[in-house]
Amino acid sequence: MRFFKSVTLLGALPISLLLGWIIPGATAGLVRLANSERYRAAKYLGVPQAEELPPALPRQSGDVVTPFRDRSFKRSLKCLLMPVVMIPELFITAISVVGAPAAVAGMLLWKLGPGNFSLMGVGVGNWFDALALGPLQILLSLGFLGWLAPAVARGHANVVLTLLAPSAEQVETARLEQRVEQLTKSRAGAVDSRCAELRRIERDLHDGTQAQLVSLAMRIGVAKQVMAEDPEKAAKLLDDARDGAE
């Protein structure tokens, strides 16, 4: 599946670069493929999660210049080696998986069509060939399955982690960008909290002062009404109003 995916991408990439106005997301897709390959390689080797390549630079329709200054895209171009590398890997896999069952079938069924069944690449026409070449093919297949195929898989994973790794400058830049983003979010949260607190204080001041002014106006109004009948009470109300004003 990975082989066919890489072959498809290899065929689509030149078209996407020449017709960038049609497929502007091809560069981002190749970077995501590179990160996916690094993730699988790290998981297979059982090592800590590998650093990802930073996302591809945004590209508008018709822009075929940006990919040539996009370091993530240029590094992920090494994924195009996958189809070439996977040809011998598929050959080794086929021998590992199919070799032993094919040998058993050839040893048992060669008589149905002498010369039509082959073992170790040699046509089987008699029991000597079947009994000599069959076990040899089984041993070779088991050797591929138990030693060569895992070794090739580990080598492939290590090469992927090395070739598709972001540069130290990219890692540092991504770390700084993440730090700036975190600081921006925390600053925005602090500003929002401070603004909310200021609005609360302003509301409390406004509401409390307004109530006190209303009370002051009522006291003065009552003092004005009772001044003629009870000057002492009016004087007391005015004293209270003055204290409230202070």
- Reported as a single tens digit per residue, the pLDDT across 70-90 is 888 888 878 777 777 777 888
Counting residues of the chain whose pLDDT is more than 90, the rounded percentage is: 3
Q: Is the pLDDT of residue 19 over 80?
A: no
Residue 130: which residues within 8 A CB-CB, separation 6 or more? Answer: 106, 107, 110, 119, 124
Identify the pLDDT of residue 159. Answer: 87
Q: Is the pLDDT of residue 144 over 70?
A: yes
* Phi and psi based region of residue 120 (left: phi greater than 0; alpha: psi -120 to 50; beta: remaining): left
Mean pLDDT of 132-155: 89
Q: Is the pLDDT of residue 105 over 70?
A: yes
Please, what's the largest Cα pairwise distance for the chain?
Answer: 141
Highest mean pLDDT among 30-34, 112-116, 168-172, 189-193: 30-34
Q: Is the pLDDT of residue 104 over 80?
A: yes
Counting residues of the chain whose pLDDT is more than 70, the rounded percentage is: 77
Q: Is the pLDDT of residue 30 over 60?
A: yes
In whole angstroms, give the CA distance from residue 208 to residue 216.
12
Using 50, 70 and 90 to split pLDDT, how confident is the model at 139?
very high
In whole angstroms, give the CA distance from residue 94 to residue 102.
11
Higher pLDDT among residues 46 and 191, named by residue: 46
* Phi and psi based region of residue 46 (left: phi greater than 0; alpha: psi -120 to 50; beta: remaining): left
What global pTM score does this model have? 0.58
Q: Is the pLDDT of residue 16 over 70?
A: no
Q: Is the pLDDT of residue 123 over 80?
A: yes
Mean pLDDT of 151-171: 83
Identify the pLDDT of residue 9. Answer: 59
Domain boundaries, the chain: 2-166, 185-245
